Structure 1
C-alpha cells in the first residue's frame, strides 16, 4: 500500500505569536515535522509539499531561523514586512496560504495546517468537499478559532511536546 501523501502549510507568524502568548515559548518545528509526517500508528507519510510562510524583516536572527526551516524540509515563502505611517503593520499570508492549499490539496490525502486563524475554516471545508482531502490543524488551543477546530478532521493542540 502506498504511503499517505501529505502537504504541510505553516502560518509562521500565527504560530510564533500564539505560542509566545499562550506559553511564553517557541514552537518546535523539528518535532512538528516528525509528528505531521507520520500517522498515529507511526507509519511514514510522503511529503508532497511543505511550505512555511513568514514575514521578511531582513534581520540576521530571522535569516538563521529561515535556514533552519529549510534544513528541516520546508520551502520558505517570504513576504516583506510593511510598517504603515499610522504605526500599524501588515504581513499576513492568508491569501497565499489559501492559493497554495487549493493548488496542492488535490495531490494529497491529508493537508496539515499549522495556524489558529479562524479565516481558514472556510478553506478547510472547501478542501474537504472539493478534493475529499483530510485536514489536520495544529494550533494553540486557547488561541485557535473554534470555527477552525470544528472544521478540521483532526485537531492537534500545541502542547509541551511541540514547544522548545
Structure 2
C-alpha cells in the first residue's frame, strides 16, 4: 500500500466480512499489527470496526474482541442483532451495519484524504464513488484468491487501489498463523476465533 507521509488516513473495517475473508485464507488478524501498519505509514486519523452483537445472549463470543478494540485505538460501532421468523417458519437473524459505516465515512470525509475499507461487499461501491467525488482516495482490502472471490468485481473496479488481503497477511497475521492459498485455518485460538460463526448478513442461522 502506498501512502503519502502527510496524508490523513481513516480505516473502516467491516468486521464480519474481514473475519470471513481472513479465515478462508487461513489466518487470523492481529488487530494491533493492523493498526500499527497504518500509523507508521501516514497520519492515522481514526480506525473504525463495525460488527453486530446479540446482547440478549448471556455471553457474546465476540464481546472480548470488541472490548479489546475499544481500549486499543479503535472506534467500535455495534448493532443489535434482530431475530425473526420468515413465512416458512425458519429463524433468521439480521445484523447489517452498511448504513452506519456509510454515514460515518461521509461525515468524516472533510477531514480525511485517504480511506481504507476492509470489505468486499459490493453494496459499498456507491459509497466509494461518493467519497471519491469529494477528492478522496479509497483503498479496498479484500481477496480474489478464494473460490469464489470474496470481493465484488464492481467494488474492486471502483477503488483507487485494491490490496489483496493475503499479501497483507504477512504483516497483520497473528503469530500462530500464516496466510495460505485458500487453506482453512488451523490451530490456536485468539480474538479473531471468537467471532460468531452462526451469523450471516441478513441471512439464515447455520
- Alignment TM-score, normalising by the size of structure 1: 0.85
CA RMSD of aligned residues (A): 2.0
Cα deviation, 1:141-160, whole Å, max 9, x if unaligned, reads 22111111111111111113
SS at the partner of 2:163?
Answer: strand
- Listed as ranges, the matches of 1:38-57 within 5 Å are 38-39=40-41, 45-57=42-54
**Matched position secondary structure for 1:84:** strand
Which of the numbers 130, 148, 157 marks the counterpart of 2:155? 148
Aligned to 1:25: 27
Q: Secondary structure at the match of 1:27?
A: coil
Aligned equivalents of 2:77, 2:9: Cα separation in 1: 18
Q: Contact 2:49–2:76 (CA<8 Å) still a contact in 1?
A: yes
- Is the Cα–Cα contact under 8 Å of residues 7 and 105 in structure 1 kept in the other structure? no
- 1:102 corresponds to which residue? 106
3-state DSSP of counterpart to 1:143: coil
Shift of 1:92: 1.1
CA distance in 2, matches of 1:120, 1:61: 27
Deviations 1:118-156 (A, max 9, x none): 111111111101x10010111122211111111111111
Q: CA deviation at 1:27?
A: 2.7
Query: Structure 2 CA distance, aligned partners of 1:48 and 1:87?
Result: 40
Q: What's 1:82 paired with?
A: 82
| 1:106/1:133 contact within 8 Å kept | no
SS at match of 2:117: strand
1:60 is displaced (CA, Å) by: 4.8
Per-residue CA distance 1:78-97 (angstroms, 9 max, x = gap): 10112222322110111111
Is 1:15 the counterpart of 2:18 in the alignment?
A: yes
User: Could you tell me whether the CA contact under 8 Å between 1:113 and 1:135 is conserved in 2?
Assistant: yes
3-state DSSP of counterpart to 1:148: helix
Distance in 2 (alpha carbons) for counterparts of 1:157 and 1:33: 17
2:164 is aligned to 157
> More helix by proportion, 1 or 2?
1
Larger Rg computed on CA atoms: 2
> Which runs of no fewer than 5 residues in structure 1 stay unpaired?
40-44
